[in-house]
Amino acid sequence: MSARDAVLRVEHLEAGYGETTVLRDVTLEVPAQGVLAILGPNGAGKTTLLRAISGLLPARRGRVGLDGKDVSRRSASERVRRGLCHVPDPRGIFPSLTVRDNLVLQAPRGSVDGSIEKAVGMFPRLGERLDQLAGTLSGGEQQMLAVSRAYVQSPKVVLLDEVSMGLAPNIVDEIFAFLERLREEGVALVVVEQFVHRALAIADAVAVIGRGRVVAEGPAAGFTENAIFEAYAGVAPQEATA
């Protein structure tokens, strides 16, 4: 894939906290309408990677390209305006505001009513709780509200950090059905996910992160759960093949 084909391209990214370097020379790309699964053990740097891509964490060096434009020096809010949506872990909601107010804050300017209608159409339970404080929702309902921003903002790329964490299996099914719908509507996804089999089922490509580096990457069809574990355990730090 050429850089022009990638809706999101990360090149030689380095980031960290204080004097600690977490990411080292990370390069990856996501095609338009593609799904990239970022997999690896706890502490490998997956969340740090998403934060650096979205601009919530300044990169020390490297480049982030979005839809052919260099956004490395752009703020997080500017990256949102250019089509990047980040659904963080833990759930990115305002618990002291109502469901309706959360959706209003997520909506693009001038499209509040339409955005609420879209979110409720995808997750009808939110429509039953529009005037309820978000912090009083069940965990599954809070996650529905959190991921709804990936729908109402009409983004080009969505970064999703452990969206299935702590949810009942039936809610996980709903969330992944939602991700499939996003993909069908032309949105590219970068998915950090604890359930490897779920990630492999939806992904076109996989990047395995270990100790802040990409230790294996390739088409999702070339990976098994065992191969991924071996890669981040250091047994097979090489490119997977289909």
Residue 200 pLDDT > 80, yes or no? yes
pLDDT tens digit sequence for 114-153: 889 999 999 999 999 999 999 999 999 999 999 998 988 8
Taking residues 157-161, report their average pLDDT.
97
pLDDT tens digit sequence for 32-44: 999 999 999 999 9
pLDDT tens digit sequence for 165-183: 989 999 999 999 999 999 9
Structure tokens at 131: 């005037």
**Residue 184 near residue 208, CB atoms below 8 Å:** no
Look-up: residue for tokens 């993909």? Answer: 183
Structure tokens at 143: 């996650």
Reported pTM? 0.91
DSSP code, position 118: H
Residue 235 pLDDT > 70, yes or no? no
pLDDT score of 18: 95
Q: Which structural domains are found in the chain, ordered by start?
A: 6-83+155-232 (3.40.50.300)
Query: Within 13 Å of residue 189, how many CA atoms lie on the same side as its CB?
Result: 30
Look-up: residue for tokens 């071996």? Answer: 230
Which of 81, 79, 103, 107 is CA-nearest to residue 93?
Answer: 103
Structure tokens at 198: 């779920």
- By percentage, how much of the chain surpasses pLDDT 90? 80
